[in-house]
Chain A
Amino acid sequence: MARSAAHEGAGWFEARGLAAFRGERLVLEGVSFRLEAGGALLLRGPNGAGKSTLLRVLAGLIPPAAGALLWRGEDALADLSYHARRLAYLGHQDAVKPGLSVAENLAFAASGGGDIDAALAALGLAPLADLPARFLSAGQRRRLALARLPLACAPLWLLDEPGNGLDESSLASLGALSDRHRAAGGMVIAATHHDLPFPGASQLSLT
């Protein structure tokens, strides 16, 4: 699979004492972790513990109220659009446009030079490439959203409940996708309630 130069010596990603508000409520406080190249981190915690909020803070969508986010020791959030280029984000929504076909849904994500056919094949969507996305089932829409990850050619993957709605074989392809990504020096951070096939992943419990 095509890999960009962003993977070369992907370095490390570190959070120091992150805090974040959701409205008036402090949902995250003192969150720290360090992730090396090839590592995976699972965010665990009950509903409302701030897993999704933490992922959005890590993506630069929500500015942290306190703490620092470091990429190879430098402030990651100093240039938001540069930070955005080194990550691929999977939200809890699929961002699938029902009016476009499966392949067309990936066209914008692939404008950086990714291979749409390979991404679709990796998630078993190749036979559906020309189908309008409104005919997809919930699990297939999730797989389509996952297909954006390899297209981004980004070293850091932020996944919000990536296993939602996936059957066992799709979970296995998600595992294979993340294994390949990590073997190339990429990192994965996933918020999840279920067990994900990410071998050797460390855990971070949020309360």
Chain B
Amino acid sequence: MTLFFSLIARELRLSLRHGADTLAALLFFFLAGTLFPLAIGPAPAELARIAPGIVWVAALLAALLPLDRLFGADFEDGALDQLLLSGLPAAAIALAKACGHWLTTGLPLLLAAAPLALMLRVRAESLPVLLGGLLPGTLALSLLGTAGAAIVLGARRGGVLLPLLVLPLAVPVLIFGTTASAAAAVHLPVRPHLLLLFAVLAVLLPLAPLAAGAALRAAAE
């Protein structure tokens, strides 16, 4: 358990030293979000209708950005061997990496989602639902992304393959997240949609680290 937390601490320290990765994801999130009003037009009513979808899609794409380096750097400099031989099971290494990804990308995106949503004229009453959906949503994306990043590890053109692998799998997260916001907009119950999001998270929580762990072992061979 100490090992697990010191691995997360290592990830945080590394991303603090390479702060540009987190910043790049955040700036991408804001830029992608602001492109929509420019392309569609700034009419508040129309924007308010599609704003939750914009925030979700922008968060999904921004969360993908740092995945390429999640295991890539460790794989290239030999640190992955050291991690696999640290005494932690490979799945625990993957879970720690997913936690690191969420803390350095998912959580900042979650915090940045509120200002972006307000900028896009999301109605104040649907903001809590949007953020409440993004919390399990970003967690699920970190888990999915970690599994994807581990699977493409060592493949040539892994960076191109990664979104192709992760984005289709992220579709349920996107659907349940945006339907929750849509339900909130017309004052329908949002609970079922959020519960479905948590159900996706509950499925991914054991499966993604196990798949990622197996992929890491295969990559180290």
Interface residues of A (CB under 8 A from B): 56, 59-63, 80-82, 84-85, 87-89, 91-97, 99-100, 104, 107-109, 111-112, 148
Contacts and interface: CB of A to CB of B under 8 A. Distances in A.
Contacts of A100: 13-14, 17
B88 interface: yes
Contacts of B158: none
5 contacts: A85-B87, A93-B77, A99-B14, A100-B14, A111-B2
Interface of B: 2-3, 6-7, 9-10, 13-14, 17-18, 74, 77-79, 81-82, 84-89, 220-221
Contacts of A89: 81-82, 85
Shortest beta-carbon contacts, A-B, top 8: A93-B78, A99-B17, A111-B6, A85-B87, A95-B78, A95-B79, A84-B85, A91-B78
Nearest to A132: B17
A94 B207 CA distance: 32
Given A97-B14, A104-B13, A61 B220 contact: yes
B18 A99 contact: yes
A95 B87 contact: no
A112 B88 CA distance: 12
Given A81-B88, A89-B82, A99-B17, A61 B221 contact: yes
B27 to A, nearest CB: 20
Given A61-B84, A81-B87, A104-B13, A112 B3 contact: yes
Contacts of A85: 87
A61 B81 contact: yes
Given A61-B220, A81-B87, A81-B89, A96 B82 contact: no
Nearest to B5: A111
A39 to B, nearest CB: 21
A61 B85 contact: yes
Contact of A108 (B6, B17, B89): B6
Contacts of A61: 81, 84-85, 220-221
Given A56-B221, A63-B221, A108-B10, 11 more contacts: A61-B84, A81-B89, A84-B84, A88-B85, A89-B85, A92-B78, A94-B77, A95-B82, A100-B13, A108-B86, A112-B2
A20 B89 CA distance: 23
A85 B221 CA distance: 19
B210 to A, nearest CB: 14
Contacts of A84: 84-87
B6 A107 contact: yes
Contacts of A81: 87-89
A71 to B, nearest CB: 15
The residue among B14, B85, B88, B220 with the most chain A CB atoms within 10 A of its own CB is B85
Contacts of A107: 6, 9-10, 13
